[in-house]
Amino acid sequence: MNILIMGAPGSGKGTMSRLISENFGITHVSSGDLFRQNIKDDTPIGNQAREFIEQGLLVPDDITIEIVKERILEFDCEQGFLLDGFPRTSFQAHAFERIEKQINRPIDLVINLVVDRELLVKRITGRRMCPVCSSIYNIFLSPPKVKGVCDKDGRTLLQRPDDTLEALSVRLEQYDTHTQPMLEYYRERGIVKDIDGSGGVEPVWKQIKELMERLNAQE
Ligand code: AMP
């Protein structure tokens, strides 16, 4: 099955993608993770993308389409892929339609996580990560035992540069301008399922798991 997972920043795309991937054996492809890895590895793409990402802006379409296309063509995506964070603009969606046709792997399902703004802001601006073990905390919703320090290894927790309130305002604006309208394109194809993403991990996961089990049973 080929799936897109969509939703505003903080809607839980990353968490749900990991669960889908683990439980259904589908390869998770996150455009944001691809960029962050390129930045970490100091590649030319990473250097081009860094400035946009830190300001909360979208990386230009041509760079983004190229990096995702390359990843989708790898062998572990042959049995299905779960795209997280791509496409994010109508231009990307149309470019991806051509890729879908080229590789003959159409999107079967678009999971759209719906979360209200106030909660999105809390989830993103409160998010902190351990640079060593990658554990995620939230200073409002799931704080570490000791302020600013990872429970598992005692390292100082970090905030992603694009998780500040300033960068988040830009990211939300980009979402409203470019990504939200793009969803209509998939709605017209009749493959979008809206999921209430405002609960904790368990209730949101339950909805997605049941949806996917239903779809698998129909295949
Ligand atoms: P994410 O982890 O999905 O929130 O992505 C982090 C950042 O990477 C975004 O704020 C953008 O700057 C960039 N990015 C990720 N995916 C895309 C995309 N499909 N188009 C443009 N920029 C993207």
With a cut of 80, say whether residue 219 has pLDDT above it. Answer: no
The Cα 161–Cα 196 span in angstroms is 27
With a cut of 80, say whether residue 93 has pLDDT above it. Answer: yes
Q: Could you tell which of 5, 59, 129 is best to mutate to test the pocket of ligand 1, judged by most ligand atoms within 8 Å of the CB? A: 59
Q: Return contacts of 90-99, CB within 8 angstroms, 24+ apart.
A: 90/178, 90/181, 90/182, 90/185, 91/61, 92/61, 92/64, 92/65, 92/182, 93/182, 93/185, 93/186, 94/185, 95/61, 95/65, 96/65, 96/68, 99/69, 99/72
Give the pLDDT score at 173.
95
The number of the ligand 1 atom at minimal distance from the alpha carbon of 60 is 21
Ligand 1 pocket check for 197: Cβ under 6 Å: no
The pLDDT confidence band at residue 115, using thresholds 50, 70 and 90, is very high
CB-hemisphere CA count at 13 Å for 138? 15
Q: Which residues of 11-47 are buried (b: 16+ CB within 10 A; e: fewer)?
A: bbbbebbebbbeebebbbbbbbebbbebbeeeeebbe
**pLDDT single digits (tens) 119-166:** 999 999 999 999 999 899 999 999 999 999 999 999 999 999 999 999
18 is catalytic: no
The Cα 157–Cα 140 span in angstroms is 14
Give the pLDDT score at 216.
87
145 is catalytic: no
193 is catalytic: no
The number of the ligand 1 atom at minimal distance from the alpha carbon of 162 is 10
The single-letter DSSP state of residue 158 is B
**pLDDT single digits (tens) 3-60:** 999 999 999 999 999 999 999 999 999 999 999 999 999 999 999 999 999 988 999 9
187 is catalytic: no
Residues forming a β-bridge with 83: 4, 29
pTM for this model (two decimals): 0.90
Give the pLDDT score at 131.
94
**pLDDT single digits (tens) 162-206:** 999 999 999 999 999 999 999 999 999 999 999 999 989 999 999
